[in-house]
Structure 1
């Protein structure tokens, strides 16, 4: 057997350890992205971070579901239909209540989203996603055993980047989606709104979740927080998306609330530049 040179072995061990340390450090890096564009021209007004990486949309997807629901006639106005919670859905306590479109968007009720997509059916749902050219357009489901029709947007097959989010919302606001003008206006009417400084009003939807680990399980140490929407001031409208993927678990409040509040605070300053 050939003799082993201890110097070579030491060098190999050291190199391997360095590579592992680099990989671990890189994997632990948080993802931060903010992109703001002009609604009419699409011109970038602010862009910072990795805004091209596609991530699960989570509850930001309630906006496109509302567009589908109104366009298909499943939803009728801001308060109809009002559906009752069913125990078989096994949702958290905060979702165990009757909900209408306004409550659904405001309180981020997952089961209400799923009732809409069930009523749409697989073909219509997939057709809307293709027509919207939304993210990677993959509603097959699968990761973690998720069902495509009712869960593809929840840590599953459907992914979209922050750049994709603002492109999609710009097309929504400017009549570039294959839905009725009535569906556009009714979706806008139920989108949560927030007052910001310097006369800005912010409209948007949060989304929370977590990345999946190599075993396909949700990794709570890698939480996802989204806030996407548009903001208006004196006839001017901008479209935004902010995404954080953190490296530690958030326990005090959902990470998406932190992302939302920070965007509302930062937007007037960013637009004043």
Structure 2
């Protein structure tokens, strides 16, 4: 009799667990909506994830690609800046590195830069130098703490994020960005505030846009735009990647925000 009673209790427990799991899955499905933005990708493969932090509603385009990992390219400047500040490889956003005189791809790179200006102009050499100053041991430790993508930096301390070993998905970019917005990353809050401030790209009366593009410069075959937008009653985090450029990814993001009514058309 005791064995039968125990078996009944176990069966009931399994049923409750199964029902609970199904309920959670259904709730997640209800919270996820499909973005109908085919025309914005103009025939190119890509994906977008957009999440409201007020009600946790998630919008996705091309669900099959949201979990696929790609190299972060220059979007890695966001965690790189955080790690640089946390390890004191740079003192603050104003610390300047002197240009070494080597002429690089873009005129805006060929001058002295601060942490903030190098973020704004996406000056690769500044962040490569800083990564070298951070060093492999500390870089690996901090990337593991951030749980950033596949956490693989074997591609070399100055290049692992550039068409190399480090890879991250759009969903993982969203999770990282949400923690940054909420200042829940395992770093000092002041550094998270600094990096968010450095990411500001557009300030209007009714919204503030924070973002970072990334482009695979070798062939322009991968573009990213990640970040978040603060509006009066909500914050939305976003991540877009496309078989194209970071500029294309940014344009898709802005048009989607307008279609969703998050940004007013014309702004």
Question: Which TM class, normalised by the smaller chain length?
Answer: 0.7 to 0.9
With normalisation by structure 1, the TM-score equals 0.74
Q: Give, in whole Å, the separation in 2 of the partners of 1:156 and 1:99.
A: 25
Q: Give, in whole Å, the separation in 1 of the partners of 2:229 and 2:185.
A: 20
Q: Which runs of 5+ in 1 are unaligned?
A: 1-28, 142-147, 211-217, 247-254
CA contact (8 A) 2:97 2:113 kept: yes
CA contact (8 A) 2:153 2:165 kept: yes
Counterpart position of 2:68: 53
| Aligned residue pair count | 218
* Offset of residue 174 of structure 1: 1.7
User: Residue deviations 1:35-81, cap 9 Å, x none?
Assistant: 0112366x2431111211101100000000111111122233332x1
CA contact (8 A) 1:132 1:178 kept: yes
Counterpart position of 1:121: 135
Q: Give, in whole Å, the separation in 2 of the partners of 1:91 and 1:39.
A: 39
Residue 263 and residue 120 in structure 1: after superposition, are their counterparts in 2 closer, same or farther (change >3 A)?
same
* Offset of residue 85 of structure 1: 1.2
User: Residue deviations 1:171-219, cap 9 Å, x none?
Assistant: 12223211001111111111132257x9332110000016xxxxxxx5x
Q: Say if 2:177 is the partner of 1:169.
A: yes
**What secondary structure sits across from 1:160 in the alignment?**
coil
Q: Give, in whole Å, the separation in 2 of the partners of 1:126 and 1:30.
A: 34
With normalisation by structure 2, the TM-score equals 0.75
Q: Say if 2:138 is the partner of 1:140.
A: no
Identify the match of residue 209 of structure 2 among 183, 187, 202. Answer: 202
**What secondary structure sits across from 1:75 in the alignment?**
coil
Q: Give, in whole Å, the separation in 1 of the partners of 2:208 and 2:235.
A: 10
Q: Which runs of 5+ in 2 are unaligned?
A: 1-42, 263-267
Counterpart position of 1:236: 234
**What secondary structure sits across from 2:76 in the alignment?**
helix
Counterpart position of 1:91: 104
* Offset of residue 93 of structure 1: 4.3
CA contact (8 A) 1:78 1:189 kept: no
* Offset of residue 109 of structure 1: 0.5
